[in-house]
Structure 1
């Protein structure tokens, strides 16, 4: 797909890109697909599915209201999604990509360096451990995660990183209403409130994806997040 074709393709989803951003995004796709021969960054390697399920899906997160210099933490970034596409779309924001697999992070770091991105930073380790460190707890204006874990689990892992008034953006599938219903206790304990739900269709099909926006409106007890085993065994 050419740069112009990609720009027009994104417009169909309401995503506005300039030619430089489009070129960087396509370059990121090419680099990830190439690197994928050495390390498994994604199971999606065909061009159109990659564009739709990785690039477009990431870019649909609306961070327009955040001020320049705002810091965003992407938890469980894997192959760099949604962190890197959003960093390209929002060069005025600072993105911190966290993943427990250092080898994947190193590969993504090599790619972003090659692309000349200067607003992407990397954190190797576990979210529940970083969340207890004062340099990270309640320090971010936004947190993103496309993780496949249940929403109550994600809320406990992600909300402690947010400043008061900050938002957690979570990508979910067609069962999102059930997950939100199961998360009422977690939302209460973690002082979270669902402020927006953005729905879209992947590959212009009936495959529903939503981005749930949860705003933090209070301090979270220091005991959260608990260790991952406990969170998984006994979600809030």
Structure 2
């Protein structure tokens, strides 16, 4: 990365307390290179300008870690798509164990390709529906952090996410400028599934419109009947 692009990433991550090495900056560059190449084939993102990718993909992902004193024990990302926010977090925190859940085969293929190109370790790609993953006892209530960007409205998302979290774990859900209505609509689902909204924070990315980050903490076990069968959470939200 050179010029304004490099300065934007360096200055912003430094201000957020996320120091990055030259090797990590090179990994981000390679990541974007591969995304641009594969995007022509698979339409992984509507964003095609490299500077916009820095702001809307890399910085938007790394913002989630701006208050981390240490990396969490592990992280699972729902509906990973092109890998945001999980892969930028993995690059920034190389020892963080990361699981990516992606139901679309071509996107899962891209994720495996990028992981190999960047020589990332302790990263898994699960090519499965999230409802299936959430009912797998090997995955259920195993994670400290769940991330999900542009996956579903909050009352649906919590049914996907909370079964995966251990007690005290957190769902980090980037949302639009004012998620008040989404939060209100999710209250019944949160009560049933064992979660509560612990914070709703404004998100400020240089050059971007203000957004918000909803943080949900798991406070009680999720009943074993959740998540429901594939497609049901989205069709019949709690």
TM-score (norm 2): 0.91
Residue of structure 2 aligned with 1:64, choices 65, 68, 78: 68
Secondary structure of 1:179's counterpart equals helix
CA distance in 1, matches of 2:52, 2:229: 35
Query: Could you tell me which residue of structure 2 aligns to residue 127 of structure 1?
Result: 130
Q: 1:228 to 1:191 in 2, by over 3 A?
A: same
- CA shift, 1:43, in A, is 1.2
- Say if 1:221 and 1:66 are closer, same or farther in 2 by CA, change over 3 A: farther
1:227 aligns with 2:217: no
Within 1, Cα distance between the matches of 2:216 and 2:225? Answer: 20
Q: 1:41 aligns with which of 27, 44, 61?
A: 44
Cα RMSD after superposing both structures: 1.9
Cα deviation, residue 202, structure 1: 4.1
| Structure 1 match to 2:220 | 218
1:190-223 CA deviation, whole Å, 9 max, x = no partner? 1112222232234434x22222111101111111
Aligned residue runs from structure 1 range 168-179, under 5 A: 168-179=171-182
Q: Take 2:69 and 2:162, find their aligned partners in 1: how far apart are those partners?
A: 19
TM-superposed CA distance for 1:118, in Å, is 1.0
Alignment size in residue pairs: 234
- Counterparts of 1:115 and 1:187 in 2: how far apart (Å)? 37
Structure 2 contact 71–93 (Cα < 8 Å) conserved: no
Are 1:128 and 1:227, in contact at CA under 8 Å, matched by a contact in 2?
Answer: yes
Give the match for residue 145 of structure 1.
148
Distance in structure 1 (CA, Å) of the matches to 2:145 and 2:11: 28
**Secondary structure in 2 aligned to 1:48?**
helix
Aligned to 1:28: 31
Displacement of 1:11: 3.6
Deviates more, 1:127-136 or 1:54-63: 54-63
Query: Aligned partners of 1:88 and 1:57: how far apart in 2?
Result: 14
Residue 12 of structure 1 deviates from its aligned partner by: 5.3
Match of residue 197 from structure 2:
194
Task: Provide the secondary structure at the position in 2 that maps to 1:31.
Answer: helix
What is the correspondence of 1:175-186 to structure 2 with a 5 Å cutoff?
175-186=178-189
> What does 1:152-163 correspond to in 2, within 5 Å?
152-163=155-166
Is the 1:36–1:42 Cα contact (8 Å) retained in structure 2? yes
Distance (Å, rounded) in 2 between the aligned partners of 1:139 and 1:65: 21
Shift in alpha-carbon separation, 1:12–1:45, aligned structure 2, 3 A: farther
TM-score (norm. length: structure 1): 0.91
